[in-house]
Amino acid sequence: MSKQIQPPEGLRPAGASEKREEEILQDPAKADYMSGRQYYSQGEYTQAAMAFHNALRGFEEQGDDQGVANASDRLGDVCLAREEYGMALDHYQRAFDICLKEEDIFSQAALNKKRAVAFRRLGKLERALDILLDLFDHHAETRNPKGTVEILEVIAEVYLEQGDGQKAADALRTIAGIHRNFKHARLAEEFEQRARAVEQVQ
């Protein structure tokens, strides 16, 4: 059974008691992390980066891998928002390596979605596609049709960015097939039409 790294939102579980909140605020690393989240949600990325950086250093000193993963993930988010894609990838990779060590496949998948975005924005479409295909496999293995459909849509977009309309159409038809299997006739027809439209452009 894989152990899931606590998600970034998870340092304070939903409905945590006041006592738990006080414990978090008494830990400087966790307090910095919570401040970073607040700054990030307000779009104050410079302050968020400083807070997450301080949190990261604190978690490193404590030997808290979960904290390091969460802070690295959030630093990646800040860099992504600031269009610093190379730095975002470095932070996401650090978090990803910890999740890999912990065999946390769900956190790996969440990080891979962000890594794919960064590679796309850098124009590294092959790297993005490799990650997206891994995500497709993950959703298939975990029997997650909603996740599979979402990833196939992104895969179709990347194929179009590469100028490969036929592969994009194939991805859209796969989505149509999934919807047909679940008796979603309207959605199946919508994706079938999108596939035909993509083929006509070529």
- Which pLDDT value is given to residue 2? 44
- Which pLDDT value is given to residue 60? 98
**Domain at 1-104, CATH class:** mainly alpha
Burial of 1 (0-12, 13-18, 19+ CB in 10 A): exposed
- Which pLDDT value is given to residue 201? 75
pLDDT tens string 105-119: 999 999 999 999 999
**Domain map (residue ranges) of the chain:** 1-104, 123-202
The mean pLDDT value for 120-129 works out to: 98
- Which pLDDT value is given to residue 146? 95
pLDDT at 9 over 70: no
Q: Which of 16-30, 90-104, 137-151 has the lowest mean pLDDT?
A: 16-30
- DSSP tag of 12: S
In terms of phi and psi (left: phi > 0; alpha: psi -120 to 50; beta: otherwise), the region of 107 is alpha
pLDDT at 7 over 90: no
d(CA 58, CA 63): 9
Confidence of residue 126 (pLDDT cuts 50, 70, 90): very high
Confidence of residue 200 (pLDDT cuts 50, 70, 90): confident
Mean pLDDT for the chain overall: 91
- Which pLDDT value is given to residue 125? 98
Report H helices in the chain: 18-26, 28-41, 45-62, 65-81, 85-101, 105-121, 125-141, 145-161, 165-181, 185-201
- Which pLDDT value is given to residue 10? 46
**Domain at 123-202, CATH class:** mainly alpha
- Which pLDDT value is given to residue 19? 66
d(CA 80, CA 72): 12
Same fold, 1-104 and 123-202: yes
Would you tell me the crossing angle of helices 45-62 and 28-41 to the nearest 10 degrees? 160
- Which pLDDT value is given to residue 12? 47
